[in-house]
Amino acid sequence: MNEIALGSVCMCVYKASGNAPITSLSIIFDFGLSLTLIVIGLKINLKFRKKLQEEKRNTPLGRKGNVIEPIMRWYLNLIIFYLPYSVCFSWFNTQQIWPSAWFSNCWLMNCWFQPWRVSRFIIAYNSFFVALIRYLYIVHRENANEWDFEKVGKRFQIASILIPIILEVFRLFTELDTLGLKEGTVFLNCVAINEGLSSAENMTLPVPAAVQLSYRFFSPQLVAVGYYIYLFIITLVFTNAIEGYFYMKIFQTMNR
Q: What is the mean pLDDT of residues 12-27?
A: 72
**Euclidean distance between CA atoms 41 and 112, whole angstroms:** 22
Q: What is the mean pLDDT of residues 42-47?
A: 82
Q: Which residue has the higher pLDDT, 212 or 191?
A: 212
Give the model confidence (pLDDT) of 75-134 as tens digits.
888 888 888 888 887 778 777 777 878 888 888 888 888 888 888 888 888 888 888 888
Share of the chain above pLDDT 90, in %: 9
**Residue 96 burial by Cβ neighbours in a 10 Å radius (0-12, 13-18, 19+):** middle
**Whether residue 1 has pLDDT greater than 60:** no
Q: What is the domain partition of the chain in residue ranges?
A: 2-254
DSSP single-letter state for residue 181: -
**Whether residue 65 has pLDDT greater than 70:** no
**Euclidean distance between CA atoms 130 and 110, whole angstroms:** 30
Mean pLDDT of the chain: 80
Q: What is the mean pLDDT of residues 11-37?
A: 75
Q: What is the mean pLDDT of residues 70-75?
A: 78
pLDDT for position 126:
83
Res. 225 pLDDT band, cuts 50 70 90: very high
pLDDT for position 230:
92
Give the model confidence (pLDDT) of 164-190 as tens digits.
899 988 998 998 876 556 667 777 777
Q: Phi then psi for 77, rounded to 5 degrees?
A: -60, -40
Q: Choose among 129, 56, 119, 28: nearest CA to 82.
A: 119
pLDDT for position 200:
67
Give the CA radius of gyration of the chain.
22
Q: Which residue has the higher pLDDT, 46 or 219?
A: 219
Share of the chain above pLDDT 70, in %: 88
